[in-house]
Structure 1
């Protein structure tokens, strides 16, 4: 059971932080100075209080180690709490993996930095390496090595224009597996492809993508279990690349998000984005905007309280999580007793909450 001081992540939603206080079955989780009330049973401990206080900084010159993925049996044997298995979908049985480059400031491509992400849209864990080399280089350089969880996009590194000359070619090697259940074995993947680095300075080369809110340069690594292009593996060169790696370690992970593509007729959808509620926000403070959104939420809830079984999806967006936290507070106090869960991420992304009356 989680306790005060533990670092946790939320079981059924994005985010997490350090538990500052516990009242009954509600934990107040500090995420960058904002306390989010969350059901205690939905907090998964990732670091106990003592470890949080004595956390030791990792050196930046070492290859990022792959986190351990323990089986339920090993969790029982050590006495530690087992992390619940990820929710699976029929579509997730096929691997879909994308490498993406997202500019920090798309209006200033000559000076901006770029965030590099690997998207794992599948039910499988992926043990992978991400490598690059210049055309004239003799060997590869490992830029990231580790494990990415199912339905997660993981931040790999931040690059600048000065890094691009060493990235004429990119390669991704992967082994897919599940740690807690039987699964179909996937063939190991080793994909190598050219990266036209001149595109990073051309606005029209950045395009929308179902996994990102901003325009990106995306490279499909695996599509429906089919790798983009298999590479001929030279193990000696890969070993040289591993030894020469210069790590850039910023452990930032976020769940895979796809833009909504379908709607269900039996569900009431309520978009709480302020642009959907008022014509202009001129003169409104952040507190005024939040009050308008909460008023709309209450109006919809009050008008449906007699409709047992009615499903309502409140679209609040990801943002900083302030609106979602306010909705959860309402549902935990003013509107107790209703079933609350994250709305389908394949239909709404991770910016919506479903309430069943």
Structure 2
């Protein structure tokens, strides 16, 4: 059995052409409408031409499926033995291994069919195997009461598989899910990997935002790529929903902004001692999972502005905002706010000796 062979199903009517193999036991059968159907190899029989296919179908009463199976298997027993010998051997699997891909990495990819109509489009959902291991997985969804199986399959190394087409209205059904997977290699020794059980949390609101879908390493189109397993470790939480995100922002704000104010109020404030606010995302948020770069930047600017508002009546006070050097995006955004929103305040680069290149000192006037 090879790519291009015409085949018929043994357990039901119909058939098609072998378009490829998902594994040693599963073939992709493309029907006349162009759909590829994953089918067990032992449920297929090769037919040489349309005449043979018609003969095979007519030789058995359609209503007796068991008799169908027995007769077709009998007529093709020798041929099928040859097929199964080839399919069950490892030689037909053309595994492409990459350097540096010896740890398990799995992702989900949501690709909008029409990014310009993001609020109405459908999404193709892919399972992505970015490693040199075979991944056998199940993906289930939780509705609050019970689990429903969405997909189970085997991903060959360094491949991606279309597993579902999702409408914007159906995205909410994917909010809570779980992927369980095992990893292995075929026909060669490998390092044993742990079986993983990953709980997924996906925020449906993100699918209405155009900037959620970005350039990536797996698709020619912009896509939302969500990590499931990275470097062999299950991602604990893939996203935070909007309400949880708001709570975490407020909680972190109390720690980083309000707390220093209370500390200063317990003693006479020394205007020569600056207040230091670190705007790095790692200092402001416990996690940035599920947040885009734009989301993070907006939150950092929100902390900056609220800090200025908190202390704008403390004339002569100095505040050091640590933004890092990086590519300058956060620094430029901070300077923009100072130029157009807080014109009365002066600013300069903070002491390099104390804060390095990535800090700006603001003086309240």
Interval containing the TM-score (normalised by the shorter chain): 0.3 to 0.5
Pair member with larger Rg: 2
Higher helix share: 2
Q: Give TM-score scaled by structure 2 length.
A: 0.43
* Structure of greater relative contact order (alpha carbons < 8 Å, 6+ residues apart): 1
- Which structure has greater strand proportion? 1
TM-score by length of 1: 0.44
